[in-house]
Structure 1
């Protein structure tokens, strides 16, 4: 998603290289037996290449997709842990990858070049779906999971201040309005300052604002370096560090619902793939992904095993 995208210059350089970035840490597909996902005769032995990016959530999702397709009978090449969003995107466009997990906001803003997000989950999905059909790509119906920007506060401090949503920021004393943000977010047109304006604040209304690297923000917020830290809504460190995500009650942040994006020609040949993933995507909520990401980032578990164990817990495979 947003923070994991390479810069445009690097992306363009990558696009010129055949196979740029297409690699996997292991390439393994963990075995499982059919559960509610059954063997599909028309998929037996069909070669399918799955690609996912190189951060925790994508590693879990890419391995999940690979296991599901393998159980259904496909001959899966697992390219989870591929560096760079644009490398995966171009491989889909070139036909070197068949299907990949992606986010509606990333497709609409980063790949398709739109400046403004579309309000409403269904509306944003429909917009990116329609636009990408022209590129030979089909977005499967989106999951409830929305991995977007947010602000979080340590649970104990949130209780003390009595705050659960961003519109309550204006009611706090100035010295309690302390923030930790990453440098890019602080400068973005859809970032920190416009967010403050949406919620009736300016930088002059704030206490201390600290600029930190993304990963450090979570621990800094938990320790009280700042009250409010910029986070991503499905990051496993949120439950691990006992952080409370504030509701974006004025819907400022773009929507980044999860979908699986496939080559349209591949889906036309194998429409059963959409039917298979229709059993998976509706189950992928923010709470589910927070738990799965935490198993990797906090507990140190292997993302492939985390993915397979969750599929088993849901009865999708055995």
Structure 2
């Protein structure tokens, strides 16, 4: 079964009390809205290494387990290519992906030829790889470049075009902190510099989690994710992508077609969850992990229970 982290003393006592009431015939916990739908199913969960991907995997795992599935946790896989390979080879059954990543990095298309309905195009094309995309959530988490708020104000920086001009005039203040994947992706740093016709003076490669505190120190500019609560927590502002280089990055659960065919109930279980996952919700959940220090599983469980998406 899915491995659980330790709960706080208060929560642990509450859970124990609820269990005792249930054993005595009481009606402590609410029933699961999907009880028994996945009874006997064995599903392996995957995710990328960053907070949002792990939180989404925890949300999904808890919802599927609540419906009766046995979940094996293989979350925290480093790199989009690695986790996608794990999905294709059957090492995992699902993980959450983004439409822009699917279009460019997985399916090999360009950032210049993007269909109007990107999700439909990605979903249809990926069927050839026996990968299913469930209906996307109500949030987009795209790459962005951010700077310290006071640095932006001092130098009148509001857009990426502003920053390109600034770096041309001030090469000594043109350092960017970025993670390895962004540095090497066509829809990341290389494409961004080409689209805006400039180059950063220096690229400082860091683990994604180290970028936020280093902006304003090791570098003036930093790669960020648009739903990351650490942007505000570190007094940073996002530069507007005024040339609309970054493609749409809607979040959606991807899973092996074989898994979906064997357990079509997964789509029914996940639909109301995706419907409630907005940008505001994701930023709040990400913040509870990254800035408040809570465990992803605890954050996921709280949100699911508060919205009556699993049994309480």
> Is the TM value for this pair above 0.5?
yes
Q: Which runs of 5+ in 2 are unaligned?
A: 8-14, 19-28
C-alpha distance in 1, partners of 2:205/2:121? Answer: 34
Q: Distance in 1 between matches of 2:193 and 2:81?
A: 31
- 1:27 aligns to 2:20 (yes or no): no
1:296 Cα deviation after fit: 1.9
Deviations 1:149-208 (A, max 9, x none): 211122333344454332444675934963424385567654446434534x534xx7x6
1:108 has 2:72 as partner: no
User: What is the DSSP-based 3-state SS (H/G/I as helix, E as strand, rest coil) of the residue aligned with 2:249?
Assistant: coil
CA separation of 1:186/1:73 partners in 2, compared to 1, >3 Å: closer, same or farther?
closer
- Aligned equivalents of 1:251, 1:293: Cα separation in 2: 25
Q: CA distance change for structure 1 residues 61 and 108 in 2, over 3 Å: closer, same or farther?
A: same
Q: Tell me what 1:166 maps to.
A: 160
Task: Give SS of 1:108's match.
Answer: helix
With over 3 angstroms needed to count, the CA separation of the structure-2 counterparts of 1:144 and 1:168, relative to structure 1, is farther
**Which residue matches 1:151?**
145
Name 1:139's counterpart in structure 2.
133
Q: How far did 1:133 drift?
A: 0.8
Query: Does the 8 Å CA contact 1:53/1:85 hold for their aligned counterparts?
Result: yes
Report the TM-score, using the length of structure 1 for normalisation. Answer: 0.74
1:118 positional shift: 4.9
Q: Is residue 180 of structure 1 aligned with residue 176 of structure 2?
A: yes
The separation in 1 between residues aligned to 2:184 and 2:73, in whole angstroms, is: 37
Q: Which runs of 5+ in 1 are unaligned?
A: 1-23
- The total of aligned residue pairs comes to 287
**Structure-2 change in CA distance of 1:64 and 1:188 (3 Å):** closer
Contact 1:186 1:192 in 2 (8 A): yes
Cα distance change on mapping 1:74 and 1:118 into 2, 3 Å: farther
Change (3 A) 1:227 1:301: same
Helix, strand or coil at the partner of 1:44:
coil
Conserved 8 A contact 2:95-2:254? yes
1:113 is paired with a residue of what secondary structure?
coil
Match of 1:292 in 2: 285
Determine the C-alpha separation between the residues in 1 that align with 2:87 and 2:194.
Answer: 38
1:195 is aligned to: 192
How far apart, in 2, do the equivalents of 1:209 and 1:42 lie?
53
Change (3 A) 1:214 1:74: closer
How far apart in 2 are the matches of 1:196 and 1:91? Answer: 31
Equivalent residue for 1:7? none
Offset, 1:96? 4.4
- TM-score, length of structure 2 as denominator length: 0.75
> How far 1:302 moved relative to its partner?
1.0
Secondary structure of the 1:230 match is: strand
Question: 1:236-247 to 2 correspondence within 5 Å?
Answer: 236-247=229-240
Q: Note the aligned Cα RMSD (angstroms).
A: 3.4
C-alpha deviation, 1:269, in angstroms: 3.5
Structure-to-structure mapping, 1:1-318, within 5 angstroms: 27-28=3-4, 38-116=33-111, 118-119=113-114, 123-169=117-163, 174-175=169-170, 178-182=174-178, 189-192=186-189, 194-199=191-196, 201-203=197-199, 209=202, 211-215=204-208, 216-221=210-215, 223=216, 226-317=219-310, 318=312
**Residue 194 to residue 84, structure 1, CA distance change in 2 (3 Å):** closer
